[in-house]
Amino acid sequence: MRCRHFKELPMTETAVTPSQEVQAPVFQIQRVYLKEASLEQPNSPAILLDQQQPSVDIQLGVEATPVAEGVFEVCVTATVHTKIADKTVFLVECKQGGIFEIRNLPDDQMGPVMGIACPQIVYPYLRGNVADLITRAGFPPVHLAEINFQAMYEQQQAQQAAAVTQ
């Protein structure tokens, strides 16, 4: 049965070589996991009786490493160090990892994807694990603030560019 509304066009054969194929970009989360966690309370139990308000220092880091062809591990690390005067109340170090499949992206997009998009996916898990670990240690939870990974990435790129020009 033929449809009268469409004109049938002649078929032409065109060969597409693998180098001409444009492959769609791939971005998939393979797994998010807690890679490392440590808690130290070197001055317990005496420091626990001190009623002074502790100071809190929080450091964050992001690293990305290739695992296999098109597969990358992106880790976000948080170090939370609380002190009263010069004595440590507790020190928490947590590293949250994610495995991502990233293929067929232009090279100029790989840095932002691994420095912004991937950490944004991993970071909420890190926040939860840090708060949970501190709570399980018997302290009020420390809630890590939201992070603008785009600003962090751009700052890092600017610092690297400044280092190259010096």
What pLDDT does residue 23 have? 86
Residue 166, pLDDT score: 75
Residue-level pLDDT at 141: 85
Q: Which of 41, 142, 126, 47 is nearest to 90 (CA)?
A: 41
Domain range list for the chain: 26-161
In three-state secondary structure terms, 111 is helix
Q: What is the DSSP string of the chain?
A: ---TTSPPPPP------TTT--PPPEEEEEEEEEEEEEEE-TTTTGGGG--SPPEEEEEEEEEEEEEETTEEEEEEEEEEEEEETTEEEEEEEEEEEEEEEEES--HHHHHHIIIIIHHHHHHHHHHHHHHHHHHHTTSPPPPPPP--HHHHHHHHHHHHHHHHH-
**pTM listed for this prediction:** 0.80
pLDDT for res 96:
98
DSSP annotation of 47 reads: G
Residues of the chain where predicted confidence (pLDDT) is lower than 70: 1-21
DSSP 8-state symbol, 75: E
CATH fold of 26-161, please?
Answer: Bacterial Protein-export protein SecB (3.10.420)
